[in-house]
Amino acid sequence: MELHEKSISEINQSLRTKELSVEDVLAYFKARAEKLNPELNAFLGLEIEQPAKIDPSSSAIAGVPFGVKDNIVLEGRETTAASRILKGYKPPYTATVLSKLLSADAIPFGRTNCDEFAMGSSTENSSYGPTLNPWDKSRVPGGSSGGSAAAVAAGLVPYALGSDTGGSIRQPAALTGIVGLKPTYGRVSRYGLLSLASSLDVIGPFTHSVADAALVFEHMAGFDIMDATTVNKEVPSYINALDRGIKGMKIGVPKEYFIQGMQAGVEKAVKDAIQELENLGAEIMEVSLPSSPYGLAAYYVILPVEASSNLSRYDGIKYGLRNNQAESLYDIYTQTRGEGFGREVKRRIMLGTYASSSGYYDAYYKQAIKAREHIRAEFKEIFKQVDCLVTPTAPTTAFKIGEKMNDPLSMYLNDVFAVTANIAGIPAISVPCGFDEGLPVGLQFMAPWFKEETLFQAAGAYESATEWTKQRPNI
Amino acid sequence: MAISENEVNKVAELARLEISADETKQYAGQLSAVLDYVDKLKELPALENAGQGDVIHQTDELRNDTSDGGRYQNEILANAPTRKDNYLSVPAVFND
């Protein structure tokens, strides 16, 4: 077995027994990335932040490198959110998740490509070119964290971090055949994540297996005094949940997540997976979440409104790009932003500005907040009846590069099953559950607030019973 | 809900974005399509217990409001396109 096919624990174990040195591991992944990345474009940079001294026995992830989405800051290392407007920006501080992983002797390895400011579902909106899907290079890896997903799927790095505001971890995980976790809002610090929509954003891991996800997540979760939206709640051992089995677990199948127009092969793979869960002893119940179909509409009001406010800081004054022809302050703002932002970012800033402007605020933003409350209330009710929910992660497999670029609405619809977890703030995980015409399909589990344990228990049982998380693209 | 090109330009001005004539045209159609889609939110009835939605944050835990001595001043200023001594610099806001 080659190094890139090994689990995080196996790599750490090889370091502990001195079968391998940290230098061997880094050299292996560096060589692999240098060979495959020029085509895949999963990494924007291959900087390695190796701490002075690494003790492989200090943690279960010690000495193992990981990719970082280009919207999570590390002091002194260029971070651009794949935008021209932040070219050259060197953050003066380090994100809490990275500090936590660094203190566990894990090694940040490269900055991964993404849609500009995490706006998109295909990674085509990057100012530095699209990332290709390792399963079929004519297709997108999903987005916005598509670089992280492709880097892990292609074995360029054992795991990677992404951010999920409306599916940006789970949808690319599904489209590239790996595991992606979106934690409960408030479970992981957002300090050092460049803000998109602050009430929705969370950081989570991409891994090959559910077991790896549980392992990494134990080192990421927890309260942070630098992020007032994190919650001071004990972090349990997630690893222990993996082998509990799901005998008697009540799993809900919400009928609103099986819609017309869904790709037939995706529906089949997901239905087969649900049958497998039943075979493993789970009690499968059909349930209804009638407000879920409004989730995407609410999302495309809440997100642009928050984003248009958050992105007002990129104005050519404090950092990044400035248009040098501009003479007045007003011209500096408009010309820098006009030139520095790509089309999707501008589109969403305009949408948010419009929806929050006087005269439209009640019609759009207030309605969206009402939908958010409906959705949360329904999840709260449903979790009195079931332990978790299972749905498809995305309605299709990976689509062709360019296919949806001129039709934003059809691109947005790829996140229709993923956004509700962000709107409600609940945790969700995508695990591979099969293929349709050679392209991976993702299965999504959603659990109550702070019950990531239940996700690991259910997804862990499914992983042990199937072979899907062992599949790798031929690259 | 159709958005006119005039409205697009007005919103771009509010958002401090310079956009080309080609973008104005494109955004008018695309923003209209998205707004038509989000219009379905109006179908939802009012909620009885509005404002009770946040199940995550029962209490606020805030850090002390104290200064850490401005230790990032140099790093922050190093990112500025233009600076004068220890300040960010911009063109004059008022003429005369």
Q: Give the integer Cα–Cα distance in Å for A133 and A329.
A: 42
Q: Give the integer Cα–Cα distance in Å for A169 and A188.
A: 14
Nearest CA-CA partner of A145 in A165, A163, A129, A131: A163
Query: Residues 35 to 64 of A: which have CB under 8 A from any B CB?
Result: none
Instruction: Give the closest-approach CA distance of B78 to chain A in angstroms.
Output: 8
Q: Give the integer Cα–Cα distance in Å for B45 and B53.
A: 16
Query: Residues 213 to 242 of A: which have CB under 8 A from any B CB?
Result: 223, 225-226, 228-229, 231-232
Sheet bearing A250-254, strands edge to edge: A43-48, A107-112, A65-69, A159-164, A202-207, A179-182, A428-436, A439-446, A388-392, A250-254, A283-287
- Residues contacting A53, CB < 8 A, separation 6+: none
The residues of A annotated with a catalytic role in the active site are 69, 144, 168
Q: What is the per-residue pLDDT for B73?
A: 86
Query: Taking CB atoms and an 8 Å cutoff, what residues of chain A touch B31?
Result: 347, 350-351, 354
Instruction: Give the closest-approach CA distance of A59 to chain B in angstroms.
Output: 29
Assembly ipTM:
0.92
- The pLDDT confidence band at residue A275, using thresholds 50, 70 and 90, is very high
B28 and chain A in contact, CB less than 8 A:
no
**Residue A330: both structure tokens together:** 């007003």
Q: Is A285 exposed, middle or buried (0-12, 13-18, 19+ CB in 10 A)?
A: middle
End-to-end Cα separation, chain A, in angstroms: 15
Q: What is the per-residue pLDDT for A52?
A: 81
Q: What is the per-residue pLDDT for B67?
A: 85
Answer for the pair A122, A131: CB distance below 8 angstroms, yes or no: no
Report the residue from A300, A376, A409 with minimal CB separation from B55.
Answer: A376
- Nearest residue in A to B12, CA atom: A350
Instruction: Give the closest-approach CA distance of B81 to chain A in angstroms.
Output: 6
pTM: 0.97
| CA A338 to the chain's CA centroid | 28
B86 and chain A in contact, CB less than 8 A:
no
Q: Give the integer Cα–Cα distance in Å for B43 and A1.
A: 56
Please write the tens of the pLDDT for every residue from A114-145.
999 999 999 999 999 999 999 999 999 999 99
Please write the tens of the pLDDT for every residue from B33-75.
999 999 999 988 877 666 666 678 877 778 888 887 777 888 8
Q: What is the per-residue pLDDT for A7?
A: 98
Report the residue from B18, B43, B55 with minimal CB separation from A334.
Answer: B18
